């Protein structure tokens, strides 16, 4: 098993979760998946993240995307923490949480020695074929922006479906709003045709409505 790289198959792992044993990512085959690690159960920032992931679960489901959490805490700790969140915050966590170990966390690049012995806040977006499409790392002291992860899944799906790229802050870009970007021209003929077919700042920067 090696650290995941963009465009490569995510490493296969067999793990225990709060929903039972899982072969990951095989058990999520055919669906988009967001695997996210957190430093530790019963910590404030992680708790706010789990509540936010749960509250945005419907947004992920609308994109055909599964959520899977993970830390190196044991499964009984995950179960108790989920119970605490339900009891104290009235939020029921309905996605599985992997009980990882140091070997898995290290191999997946989740352990950064200079940041301590806990897993950092890693995010892996994996496509239905099990290919790693996006990797994000956050330090323990910064909670993640969950709507940005939803946006990333949506943008990847748009790119795959239409063969386009998405601009910064899409679909609310400051230059081209909700438009998407046409891939670069590969020859002089197509460069000229693009200027006539699309809205362009120049032949190398053309865009069209979503």
Residue 204 pLDDT exceeds 60: yes
Give the separation between CA 57 and CA 39, rounded to whole angstroms.
21
Q: Which domains does the chain have, with CATH numbers?
A: 13-144 (3.40.30.10), 163-210 (3.30.1020.10)
Give the model confidence (pLDDT) of 54-73 as tens digits: 999 999 999 999 999 998 88
The pLDDT value given to residue 208:
96
Residue 127 pLDDT exceeds 90: yes
Give the separation between CA 150 and CA 106, rounded to whole angstroms.
26
Q: Of 46, 65, 200, 206, which is the active-site residue?
A: 46
Residue 3 pLDDT exceeds 80: no
Quickly list DSSP for 92-109: ---S-EEE--HHHHHHTT
Q: Is 46 a catalytic residue?
A: yes
Tokens read off for 126: 């994996």
Residue 193 pLDDT exceeds 70: yes
Give the separation between CA 134 and CA 157, rounded to whole angstroms.
12
pLDDT bin (cut points 50, 70, 90) of residue 108 is: confident
Give the separation between CA 40 and CA 50, rounded to whole angstroms.
12
The pLDDT value given to residue 116:
64
């Amino acid at each position: 098993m090696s650290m995941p790289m963009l465009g490569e198959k995510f490493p296969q792992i067999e793990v225990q979760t709060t929903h039972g044993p899982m072969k990951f990512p095989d058990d999520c085959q055919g669906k988009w998946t967001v695997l996210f690690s957190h430093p530790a159960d019963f910590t404030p920032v992680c708790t706010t993240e789990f509540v936010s992931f749960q509250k945005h679960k419907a947004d992920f489901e609308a994109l055909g995307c599964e959520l899977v959490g993970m830390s190196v805490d044991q499964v009984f700790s995950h179960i108790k923490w989920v119970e605490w969140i339900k009891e104290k915050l009235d939020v029921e966590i309905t996605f599985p949480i992997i009980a990882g170990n140091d070997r898995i966390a290290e191999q997946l690049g989740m352990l950064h020695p200079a940041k301590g012995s806990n897993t950092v806040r890693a995010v892996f977006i994996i496509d239905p074929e099990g290919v790693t499409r996006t990797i994000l790392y956050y330090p323990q002291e910064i909670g993640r922006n969950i709507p940005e992860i939803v946006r990333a899944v949506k943008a990847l799906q748009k790119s795959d479906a239409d063969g386009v790229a998405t601009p910064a802050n899409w679909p609310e870009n400051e230059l081209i709003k909700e438009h998407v970007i046409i891939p670069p021209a590969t020859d002089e003929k197509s460069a000229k045709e693009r200027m006539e077919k699309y809205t362009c700042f120049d032949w190398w920067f053309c865009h069209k409505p979503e």
